[in-house]
Structure 1
Amino acid sequence: MLFDLTGRTALVTGTSGGLGQAMAIGLAEAGAAVVAVSSSNSDETVRIVKEAGGRIEQVKADLSDLDGLGNVFAQAEEIFGGIDILVNNAGTIRRAPAAEHSREDWHAVIDINLHSAFFLSQLAGRQMIGRGYGKIINIASMLSYQGGINVPGYTASKHAIAGVTKALANEWGSKGIQVNAIAPGYIETRNTAPIIADGKRYDSILERIPAGRWGQPEDLKGPVVFLASAASDYMNGHVLCVDGGWMAR
């Protein structure tokens, strides 16, 4: 029963594929009703969940439009009622050396990865405070700890996500709300496709992973269900590395 999400509603962003799709499916498998929010269609995610007998609906939205986030959240609430679980997964990455990193790229990454996560958390937090219950799960990164190469905007956003997670946990922990983050290791997704295509870089990363493999999106199912469930009720402000042991090497 600790991991049962029956009767809970989860809003998950960035659900068209990759990590967001896997986490949305995992939450639905645990019994949650899921609102899938993405700038592109989440049709495949919806199909998979519904074919398995789960409850899911999608909202298409541009999360970089910060003025429109209130409407996005209101739509999500209307579908299944109040939001019990928020998973801030939507993200983007722009690759360019720091000396050439454009202002446009910087703001595009920060708006999606950081600003949308904070302001959606704010909207959810106001509602959760009133009910005395809630779970907010942010998606951090190995680059919440490291500097990376040619991704200064992404690195800045993921360091900030770790900080915001702790700040919100400090303010809202006494109000029945747990705010935690997942820091995925190297997972095979569209975002990591350029690294995967570079055989030498791919192999150098693989050599450092004690598990002996890159991660798959499905590896995030268990951790997100844990942080969304009663099993993590005394866990707050934590950034959970799901990395095959990368950080331990």
Structure 2
Amino acid sequence: MADTECLGSLFSLVGKTALCTGATRGNGQNMSPALAEAGADIILVQRNENPIAKKRIEAVGRKCYIISADRSLPRKMFAPLSRSRRARPQDEWEEVLQVNFTTCFTLCRNVGKRIIDDGRQGKIINIASLLTFQVNVNPIAPGYIATDMNEALIADPVRSRRIMERIPAQRWGNPSDFEGAAIFLASNANKYVSGEILVVDGGWMSR
């Protein structure tokens, strides 16, 4: 029993606060409640107001705060989206860079500096993006996940079959498949691990 309690403490996030971006849908919407179940209070950064994750977090007795922000808009993170019906190719490219590199780097830099300046320990978990190795940074690299963003791909019989043929697990991933990975990376269980990519892909990369 003592060993079990010790192991539970190792993975406990009680007394911690997790800042989760991309929590409106998909993987982020599922990982944030998982962190709450492990004991953490949650700050959600969402472009669109979506109460699903907040309700699930509060249902397990944890506090949840929502920051409405659009990570795709440089220097105007809290501004509304452009009303243009279709972005130009250059705009689309700049938006991808802004969301996946610039804003992510800036957030890691600022949060990491705050952690260091406060003399505290902290965790930064990115999704498939190696940005820095300074404050216990470890990204999760997802494989093919059955979220609404991939509905068209799942519905395509040819492409879906080809994808399945390469996945040894013989199924698409579910957002719930990230729960254990996120809790491990956020807990004391990995306090001496930095700069490692945790691949969650059902074996896709092994083929």
Q: Does the alignment reach a TM-score above 0.5?
A: yes
**Contact preservation (8 Å) 2:18, 2:42:** yes
Tell me which amino acid in the other structure corresponds to 1:233. K
Q: Is the 8 A contact 1:15 1:24 kept in 2?
A: yes
1:138 aligns with 2:126: yes
Distance 1:133 1:103 in 2: 39
Does residue 1:128 correspond to 2:115, yes or no?
A: yes
- Are residues 1:111 and 2:98 paired? yes
Shift of 1:194: 2.4
- Verify: 1:205 aligned to 2:150, yes or no: no
Runs (5+) with no aligned partner, structure 1: 72-100, 141-160
Give the Cα separation in 2 of the matches to 1:48 and 1:240.
25
Identity across matched positions, percent: 41
Unaligned runs of 5+ in 2: 1-8, 79-87
Instruction: Give the whole-Å Cα distance in 1 for the aligned partners of 2:105 and 2:50.
Output: 23
Contact 1:36 1:56 in 2 (8 A): yes
Rg larger for? 2
CA distance in 1, matches of 2:60, 2:14: 15
**Alignment check: 8 A CA contact 2:13 2:187 kept:** yes
Distance 1:117 1:62 in 2: 12
Q: Give the number of aligned pairs.
A: 189
TM-score, length basis structure 1: 0.72
Aligned partner of 1:58: which letter?
I
3-state SS in 1 of match to 2:28: helix
Contact 1:35 1:57 in 2 (8 A): yes
User: Once the 2 structures are TM-superposed, how far is the Cα of residue 68 of structure 1 from its aligned partner?
Assistant: 4.7
1:51 aligns with 2:59: yes
How far apart, CA to CA, are the structure 2 residues paired with 1:126 and 1:47? 31
SS of alignment partner, residue 138 of structure 2: strand
